[in-house]
Amino acid sequence: MTLTYHAFADLETDTPAIDVGAPVVTRRRRTVRVPRPVRRLTGPALLLGVWALLSGTGEVSKDVLPAPWAVWSAGWHLIQDGELWHNLSASLVRVGVGLLFGIVIGTVLAIIAGSVQLGEDLIDWTVQLFKSVPHVALVPLLIMWFGIGQEPRIILIATGVAIAVYVNTYSAIRNVDRDLVEAAKSFGATRWTLVSQVVLPGSLPGFLVGLRFALASAWLSLVFAETINTNRGLGYLMSQAETLLQTDVMMFTIVTYAVIGLLSYSVVKVLEHRLLRWRTGYEGS
Amino acid sequence: MTATVLRRAVQVRRLSRSFGERIILDDVSLDIAQGEVVAMLGRSGAGKSTFLRAVGGFDREAEGVIRVPDHRAVVFQTPRLLPWQRVLANVTFGMKSADRKERGRRALAEVGLTERADAWPGTLSGGEAQRVALARALVREPELLLLDEPFGALDALTRLKMHGLLIELLRVHHPATLIVTHDVDEAIALSDRVVVLDEGHIALDARVGIARPRHREAPEFAALRRRLLGLLGVQESELEI
């Protein structure tokens, strides 16, 4: 949609009207429109600039904070000899499996608690109880119970994910418009139709908020999970670098976490955009 | 009463409903014949909506006997469309028949919204959304149509247009209809019979003997309006501004 907006000041001073993308009041001076992705990257770029400046001027020692280019060359080295992918893929698998279990468990529990009174009584308080415990505190226990294999790592990630998904989806289900449910029932909806066409789509926005928290939680859990006697994974890479005092590798791992975090955030954003089209009436192109 | 001539579609006997100490409906009995349009008027809080909800089967706490046909459909005060389903899917919601899409499109055509079949409800105007709600009700070919202040949330101009549309739709589909409203003109314009509910009792049950098309300025229209407004507690002096 485009709108040509004439502010009175423009007409008086004979400034040519300009086409603006949104209803923004055009001032006398023409503003340059910077594309949104570029604007969004301004913050990170600024941070990088300050970092480079501090390193370049020798303001901070490279043992404390290595220069961006040093970090990049260390990273490039890790990429080239396959070290990064070797570790990253292991972490991705853990997060992926943990997410899968966590999302399924969290969603199923939320549906049961959200639609059946008995379910709510049995599940809700129990999950809320778990919610108040920082789930990473479970690490030592999980090791005692499940040993040092993959299980405790996946369980840790899945627990955090399930809680985040449950809490948000459950409250979304509870907040689905009662009037819509009543109307649906009046048109003879079966229980299944009610759940699949009214309750679940209605709680989708809440679920997606939960998913966003879940992804953040998954990567956080991973850091803790990979402190457990690992020999592969981003956490392993990090602790190795720590032992060898390779601050550049440590920095590169942190940057990797950050980039992945941002990527998962944008995946959810894309999902929201696609699944919640009805909110804006946006038809796509 | 002509109810002996026409077959009964709705039979309500001694319906009572109270919320705590407050008695909303007190032994109300009412019949609606097949194809008959009954308008129920009343001041706010008179129990109109409570009555309709009981007849629609939404209220399990009410006491009394209610007999209604199996095929019922309701149009609520707000459209209550599912925002995540497109207009056509909303119209055919819950229907199982193989030709439901075709029937849905026909119903949309009847309310003049053929071209909005694929739109999201969020993009419709208030009047359009309520027309979709009408299509959703009529596509089921109900034997009983319940309308709960269906045009109360619309602006006056749109409301007038909706009256014309509803009269036309009722003429074609001919369900037994109960329309709850507080708009006296709306009640007279649409119905065969007007019922006034006051303090839980039926204060008036009268046939609207005005031939169609009805003119709001006609003397008999004005006379009935005056009488109904009187029953609803509006003084003669209050009609003059």
Same domain, B128 and B210: no
Q: What is d(CA A91, CA A95) in angstroms, rounded to the nearest whole number?
A: 6
What is the ipTM metric for this complex? 0.88
Is A283 contained in some domain?
no
Residues 6+ apart with CB under 8 A from B210: B188, B218, B220, B221, B224
Same domain, B94 and B14: no
Is A47 contained in some domain?
yes
A interface mutation test: which of B84, B128, B139 has the most A CBs within 10 A? Answer: B84
Is A48 contained in some domain?
yes
> Which structural domain range is residue B113 located in?
82-141
Same domain, B153 and B228: yes
Which of A54, A15, A43, A52 is CA-nearest to residue A31? Answer: A15
Mean pLDDT score, A17-31: 56
Collect all residues from A whose CB is shorter than 8 A from any CB in B.
Answer: 179-180, 182-184, 186-190, 193, 197-198, 201-202, 204, 277-281
Q: How many domains does chain A have?
A: 2
Of B57, B84, B94, the CB nearest to A278: B84
Element (DSSP H or E) covering residue A205: helix A200-225
Angle formed at CA B102 by CA B96 and CA B106, multiple of 5 degrees: 120
Is B231 contained in some domain?
yes
Collect all residues from B whose CB is shorter than 8 A from any CB in A.
Answer: 56-58, 72-74, 76, 78, 80, 82-85, 93-94, 119-123, 136, 140
Same domain, B59 and B150: yes
Would you say B110 and B172 are in contact if contact means Cβ atoms under 8 Å apart?
Answer: yes
Is A61 contained in some domain?
no
Task: Please report residues of A whose CB lies closer than 8 A to that of B122.
Answer: 278-281
Is A231 contained in some domain?
yes
Same domain, B186 and B211: yes
Going by pLDDT thresholds of 50, 70 and 90, the confidence category of residue B196 is very high
Single pTM value for the model: 0.79
Same domain, A25 and A147: no
The DSSP secondary-structure symbol of B28 reads E
Q: How many domains does chain B have?
A: 2
B86 → chain A, closest CA residue: A278
Mean pLDDT score, A6-24: 50
Same domain, B56 and B147: yes
Tokens of B86: 């497109």
Same domain, B167 and B230: yes
**Is A280 in Cβ contact with B84 (below 8 Å)?**
no
Residues 6+ apart with CB under 8 A from A140: none
Same domain, B53 and B165: yes
CATH code of residue A185? 1.10.3720.10
Task: Please report residues of A whose CB lies closer than 8 A to that of B76.
Answer: 179, 183
At A122-147, the pLDDT tens digits run 999 999 888 888 888 888 888 889 88
Is B76 contained in some domain?
no
B interface mutation test: which of A175, A182, A187, A198 has the most B CBs within 10 A? Answer: A187
> Which structural domain range is residue A237 located in?
68-272
Tokens of A44: 């990170």
Averaged confidence pLDDT in chain B: 92
Which of B208, B210, B187 is CA-nearest to residue B197? Answer: B187
Is A281 contained in some domain?
no
- Position of tokens 């109904």? B228
How many Cα atoms within 13 Å fall on the side-chain side of residue B223?
6
At B48-106, the pLDDT tens digits run 999 999 999 999 899 999 999 989 999 999 999 999 999 999 999 999 999 999 999 99
User: What confidence score (pLDDT) does residue B3 get?
Assistant: 41
| Percent share of chain A, pLDDT over 90 | 51
Same domain, B224 and B146: yes
Same domain, B53 and B163: yes
Is the pLDDT assigned to residue A265 strictly greater than 50?
A: yes
User: What confidence score (pLDDT) does residue A11 get?
Assistant: 44
User: What confidence score (pLDDT) does residue A7 get?
Assistant: 47
User: How many other CB atoms are found less than 10 A from the CB of residue B181?
Assistant: 22
Same domain, B50 and B154: yes
Angle formed at CA A83 by CA A82 and CA A84, multiple of 5 degrees: 95
Tokens of B62: 């009410």
The DSSP secondary-structure symbol of A82 reads T
Same domain, A98 and A51: no
Same domain, A27 and A142: no
Q: What is d(CA A132, CA A126) in angstroms, rounded to the nearest whole number?
A: 10
Same domain, B147 and B136: no
Could you give the C-alpha distances from A269 to A103, A200, A276, in angstroms and in order?
17, 19, 10
Mean pLDDT score, B185-204: 94
Is A280 contained in some domain?
no
Which of B122, B141, B160 marks a domain boundary?
A: B141
Is A195 contained in some domain?
yes
Mean pLDDT score, B181-187: 94
Task: Please tell me which residue, B38 or A58, carries the higher pLDDT value.
Answer: B38
Same domain, A157 and A48: no
Mean pLDDT score, A4-24: 50
Averaged confidence pLDDT in chain A: 86
Q: Strands B144-148 and B72-75: what pairing?
A: parallel
Helix A68-80 and helix A83-115, axial crossing angle in degrees, nearest 10: 90
Task: Please report residues of A whose CB lies closer than 8 A to that of B80.
Answer: 179-180, 182-183
Same domain, A124 and A243: yes
